[in-house]
Structure 1
Amino acid sequence: MPELHGGRRLDQPLLGRRRIEFDPDGFANGAEKLARYLGTGRYLGIQTVIVVAWIGLNIVSWRLQWDPYPFILLNLAFSTQAAYAAPLILLAQNRQDDRDRIALDEDRRRAERTKADTEYLARELAALRIAVGEVATRDYLRGELEKISAQLDEALGTKKPSRRR
């Protein structure tokens, strides 16, 4: 029998303890949105205004000087931002690469189908051209009928003028 530890059994799950549910796709979508935002001019403009205000307040105001000249706190903020932004951007790039790979495979399959359809239609067109070449045309039939008519006229002894053009 399992041992009791503090009045509870070790082979039983804890009741009432909730686990944090983690949605990897939701996190990745959020990372893509953040990566897209970090690459915009709007974000760079806002960040520039904040940095200029930070430095300006720390240089001009003697009372509010919370981060003196080497601006170590500002460097720490940038380092923290870079430490979080870089993996999120890489995650977004990997997902984009996956989407590009899937789209490329789909394009290849579509191109192969199109090529196969084109080759099939070319073969069918060639077969139709050959078949049409073997079919009697109107001029051919007219010529044959005139020959038969001339032969009948000779056999019957009546001669009609030919209507050749």
Structure 2
Amino acid sequence: MQKSLAEIARRWLTRKPESLSETEKGVLQSAIDRRTISRDINAVHEHGMSTGDRIADSIARVGGSWSFIITFLVFLAIWTIGNTVLLSVEAFDPYPFIFLNLVLSMIAALQAPVIMMSQNRQSERDRIDAAHDYEVNLKAEIEIMALHEKFDDIRHQDILVMREEMATLRAVLERIESRLPETGRPA
């Protein structure tokens, strides 16, 4: 029993086919064609990334980790202790650590936009994930409605068969009853 897109849209989504988005039409068509719509979003996302995107994500992954923070704190401690205590006479960056401030400013100036690029890509990926989740959920709802309809059809057919069998049994009982003598009938 093949159904059309318009019929399914009216029946299960209670909407006119013209009011459906392209995504919803695609989901309905996949239900009609009995195709899956789930896909590996990670593979789709990885395929579209450039080398710069991969580098930015790696920098953001490292720069946002505890190991980086701890390593950087150790580096800062060594730098300050080295320039105040160990190299007090010939310190290459004496207190107030102007060279260290310059290095930190340059790192921050480069690291912040790279992390922002990575966050923007993650936001886009989240939007793609949400859209895919919507498609999968809509398809699941449609398939569940289709299963309910099939079960209702099976139940309806079973009821019709039972009614026919009951009518046949009633006819058999009436014939048997008509053959019984009047005195042998129960009161």
Q: TM-score w.r.t. structure 2 length?
A: 0.64
Deviations 1:146-165 (A, max 9, x none): 322232x24xx7x9999xxx
Note closer, same or farther for the CA distance 1:161–1:64 as it changes in structure 2 (3 Å cut).
farther
Aligned to 1:145: 172
Deviations 1:29-70 (A, max 9, x none): 011011011111111111111111110011112234111111
Q: Tell me which amino acid in the other structure corresponds to 2:172.
A: L
For residues 80 and 153 of structure 2, the distance between their equivalents in structure 1, rounded to whole angstroms, comes to 81
Aligned to 1:40: 65
Question: Is 1:59 the equivalent of 2:84?
Answer: yes
Q: How many residues align?
A: 136
Deviations 1:74-127 (A, max 9, x none): 111110010010011011111111111111111111111111111222222222
| Higher share of residues assigned helix | 2
Higher mean C-alpha displacement, 124-133 vs 55-64 = 124-133
Aligned to 1:125: 151
For residues 38 and 49 of structure 1, the distance between their equivalents in structure 2, rounded to whole angstroms, comes to 15
For residues 53 and 104 of structure 1, the distance between their equivalents in structure 2, rounded to whole angstroms, comes to 46
What does residue range 53-92 of structure 1 map to in structure 2 within 5 Å? 53-60=78-85, 61-92=87-118
Q: Which runs of 5+ in 2 are unaligned?
A: 1-48
For residues 64 and 122 of structure 1, the distance between their equivalents in structure 2, rounded to whole angstroms, comes to 84
Q: Tell me which amino acid in the other structure corresponds to 1:105.
A: A
Aligned to 2:160: 134
Q: TM-score w.r.t. structure 1 length?
A: 0.71
Looking at both structures, which has the greater relative contact order when contacts are Cα pairs under 8 Å and sequence separation is at least 6? 2
For residues 56 and 161 of structure 1, the distance between their equivalents in structure 2, rounded to whole angstroms, comes to 115
Identity across the alignment (%) = 26
Q: Tell me which amino acid in the other structure corresponds to 1:123.
A: E
Higher mean C-alpha displacement, 125-134 vs 44-53 = 125-134
Higher mean C-alpha displacement, 29-38 vs 122-131 = 122-131
For residues 81 and 54 of structure 2, the distance between their equivalents in structure 1, rounded to whole angstroms, comes to 36
Moved over 6 A (4+): 159-162
Q: Tell me which amino acid in the other structure corresponds to 2:102.
A: L
Q: Tell me which amino acid in the other structure corresponds to 2:137.
A: A
For residues 26 and 160 of structure 1, the distance between their equivalents in structure 2, rounded to whole angstroms, comes to 97
Contact residue 31 and residue 92 of structure 1 kept, 8 A: yes
State the secondary structure of the residue aligned to 1:135. helix
